[in-house]
Structure 1
Amino acid sequence: MNLLSVNNLSIAFYTRDGKTQAVDNISFNLKQGETLGIV
């Protein structure tokens, strides 16, 4: 059983140089005791 389900996650941020897409349309599931890092 999944403790956390994430679907179609997108994250963008803005700087003086414009928009930066840090994460684009990712999906994942985590079960109890699992760890995920997005770099």
Structure 2
Amino acid sequence: MKRACIVAALLVVATLSACNTVKGAGQDIQKGGEKIENSAEQHS
């Protein structure tokens, strides 16, 4: 029973950290897109 609780806790932590990583990557991509858009607007 103790082992099952440890495994479950590790899975939860892994899932939550993956969500943060994907969210952070999405924010980085969005910021990069905004910079490209701003650059394109300045040069047109």
TM-score band (shorter)? under 0.3
Q: Which has the higher contact order (CA 8 A, sep 6+)?
A: 1
More helix by share: 2
TM-score, reference length from structure 1? 0.20
Larger Rg: 2
